[in-house]
Chains A and B, each alone.
Chain A
Amino acid sequence: NAGVMQNPRHLVRRRGQEARLRCSPVKGHSHVYWYRQLPEEGLKFMVYLQKENIIDESGMPKERFSAEFPKEGPSILRIQQVVRGDSAAYFCASSPKTGGDTEAFFGQGTRLTVV
């Protein structure tokens, strides 16, 4: 019973390059959430997706960031033209349904370092 799988675990990119972060939710979960965590801070909501649909992207920067959750395959968080301020840990979570008191399961995260 695999949990949420994220890859890569660590990603180093030079300024201006693109970063692609992948998240495979728990089998059977159709709701995916991305969060960002800066050092010494709590996680901050970025985006909520269901299969093929973005439900809420209010926490995601308007430029350079995009997310998708295709019908087949993992959810992808894409950061174009990365800058040093994008360095953070990015966590994906999934749940079988949404709504209050629905437990979301988190992956181990992708630690992005922009040099």
Chain B
Amino acid sequence: GENVGLHLPTLSVQEGDNSIINCAYSNSASDYFIWYKQESGKGPQFIIDIRSNMDKRQGQRVTVLLNKTVKHLSLQIAATQPGDSAVYFCAENPRDSSYKLIFGSGTRLLVRP
């Protein structure tokens, strides 16, 4: 698929380990952030979101951490499974154009069996 390439940062983890994917966002005025998962040949799939008035939010096997001081977002996946292999994008939602998503460049997660 078009997201499998030589230039995407790649994180390779052993099945069962925890994964941490990082993202730096650009706009200090953004107040809503989302992590998307994109499998080869498919559209982005919502994973988890967080508002700027929060530092941490947990879902099923996933946790998002937000550090507004350094404009950093991370996605933690617990007990990574082969089905987690995909490209992961963070996206920010600027306050002044709240309908628009600004995507980061993505990280490819490879899960070794």
Contacts and interface: CB of A to CB of B under 8 A. Distances in A.
A21 to B, nearest CB: 13
Interface size class of A (residues with CB under 8 A): 20 to 34
Contacts of A55: 99
Contacts, number: 76
A107 B31 CA distance: 25
Interface stretch (B11-19, B39-47, B59-67, B74-82): B39-47
A52 interface: no
A87 B49 CA distance: 31
A41 B105 contact: yes
Contact of A43 (B6, B41, B103): B103
- For chain B, the bracket of interface size reads 20 to 34
A3 to B, nearest CB: 9
Contacts of A56: 97, 99-100
B106 A41 contact: yes
Contact of A40 (B3, B97, B104): B3
Interface of B: 2-3, 5-8, 31-32, 34, 36, 41-46, 49, 51, 89, 91, 93, 95, 97-106
Given A33-B100, A40-B7, 13 more contacts: A31-B99, A40-B5, A40-B6, A43-B89, A45-B102, A91-B43, A99-B98, A99-B99, A101-B93, A105-B46, A106-B44, A108-B43, A111-B2
Interface of A: 4, 31, 33, 35, 37, 39-45, 48, 55-56, 89, 91, 95, 98-109, 111
4 closest cross-chain pairs (CB), A and B = A42-B103, A106-B43, A40-B5, A98-B99
